[in-house]
Structure 1
Amino acid sequence: MLIFAALCLCLVSFMHSGLGGRRLIDPICCLPDLPIILGSRRNTILTLKFGWHFLSLVWLVLAALLLWLEWDAAGFNAAFLLILAGHFALCGAVALIASRGRHLSWGLFLPLAGALGSAGWGML
């Protein structure tokens, strides 16, 4: 059942990212009266697109956790923390690079990744 649930999460993630990105987020980003955040239209569009796709990434991370739980329940605690650490490290790095440091989420995601990674490695 966990494998089926993980497959459903992957399907939801790909549909959300692909269809939702194309049919909802792209048209919103083309609006002429799009509000300016973080100083520019570019940063508004980046925030909308990355926020949308980061949600899809969360579902893929949850799918990975369900698969790990199915295949290795004994090692799940450490895997849980390490997978989350990787997720937040990726989100933090993307936010830092794409926004050129303007979107402050990286300042929370990267330390969170470090804390989770440290805790996870401590359990191995």
Structure 2
Amino acid sequence: MLYLSAFLLVLVAFVHSILGERFILTRLFTRDNLPKLFGSDDFTKRTLRFAWHLTSVAWLGFACIVIALT
């Protein structure tokens, strides 16, 4: 049962990353009113993308922890 849980966590990580990039981040980045940190909005976009995908990495870490519990 723990292997199923780990598999679902990996699935959630990939779905979170792919769907978030496709439906949330791309639409957010097309807006012209993003804050301009350090002179341009490029830093803002990279920070948001990093934070979004870091959450996906956290899901993968949880999957590893669940596998280690077996």
1:51 is aligned to 51
Bigger CA radius of gyration:
1
Name the aligned partner's letter for residue 29 of structure 2.
C
Q: Which has the higher contact order (CA 8 A, sep 6+)?
A: 2
The list of structure 1 runs, each at least 4 consecutive aligned residues, that deviate by more than 4 angstroms after superposition, is none
What is the CA distance between 1:32 and its match in structure 2? 0.9
For structure 1, which runs of at least 5 residues remain unmatched after alignment?
71-124
User: TM-score, normalising length from structure 1?
Assistant: 0.53
**Identity fraction in percent:** 38
| RMSD (Å), alpha carbons | 0.9
In structure 2, the residue matched to 1:13 is 13
Alignment of 1:54-69 (within 5 A): 54-69=54-69
The gaps in structure 2 that reach 5 residues or longer are none
AA aligned opposite 2:10: C
